[in-house]
Homo-oligomer: A and B are copies of this chain.
């Protein structure tokens, strides 16, 4: 594996992602333009991964590479490719952690995409995915779902058809789609949000869910907004998780009344997403949701973004 001669340091941005997307629990996700994380890698002769600084993250993100999602992803990639050098890592957390917006995936993807830029023959995204997943496993264990990492790395709207073997399918989707995100400032642990889910579900609910999954996929492929809207329903996970996110049902209802095609929990929450057919409609949905949370005396961050078709982006390459 040969290195480019002239690259000394690379900075990459990788985006936040919305996963589950109502009916697509653990199998669907899409990328936003903002927020996101940046990772800067500098090549060194010293083998291994040294995290030299972390900006943001409230001091909760470990500096030890083996325990850090970006660090772990880089270690697995350096090792698998038997790369004859090491990297110093600066992490710029530009989004809060524990939001349901794929913060750990963004850092891992930014890191592997940055490392890829040093290679004379860079890997493709399918080849990079397993390394980024190694980072995600730190948060979610060996059974890590791939939806955040895949949506972040591939950009656009993705389906994880299978985890073993890992298979990601890029969906077509109408370019008019916009997303409003509201992140109420609550602390929820991803592991807790998974623990409250029932491991057994009703067959009749599963049948209703797979009708909606088929509907959402067809709606996205064909650009049929009414079909997308009818299909953005979750009868399995949101009814459980929605109960532990204060005001969830009302905030969602506010988005729907403000014109959203659909609205639901982003990832394991507490952020809510709303999908719309225009930037203006997304803004109205974000306002409606944020206003509702203000009534509950909950501060929130809001983000507006079309679907991001790119995934990670190079911010800077230094010789």
> A169 within 8 Å of B by Cβ?
yes
Set B25, B206, B230: member contacting A201, Cβ < 8 A: B206
Complex: A221 Cα to B202 Cα, angstroms: 29
> How far is B156's CA from A41's CA once the two chains are assembled, in angstroms?
53
With A27-B211, A210-B27, A214-B169: A230-B199 Cβ-Cβ less than 8 Å: no
- List residues of chain B with CB within 8 A of the CB of A163: 208, 211
> Would you give the 0/1 interface string for A141-184, flagging 1 where the beta carbon is closer than 8 Å to chain B?
00000000000000000011111000101010000000000000
Give the number of copies in the complex. Answer: 2
Q: Which chain B residues lie closer than 8 Å to A207 at the CB level?
A: 25-27
Give chain B residues whose Cβ lies under 8 Å from the Cβ of A215.
Answer: 159, 161-162, 167, 169
* In the complex, per-residue mask of A1-43: 1 if CB is within 8 Å of any chain B CB, else 0: 0000000000000000000000111111000000000000000
- Interface residues, chain A, with chain B CB atoms under 8 Å away: 23-28, 159-163, 167, 169, 171, 197-204, 206-215, 217-218, 221, 227, 230-231, 236
- The 8 Å CB contact of A159, one of B25, B171, B214, is B214
Min CB gap A234→B, angstroms? 11
Whole-angstrom distance from the CB of A229 to the nearest CB of chain B? 12
Q: A199-B202, A202-B200, A221-B221 are in contact. Are A211 and B171 (CB under 8 A)?
A: no
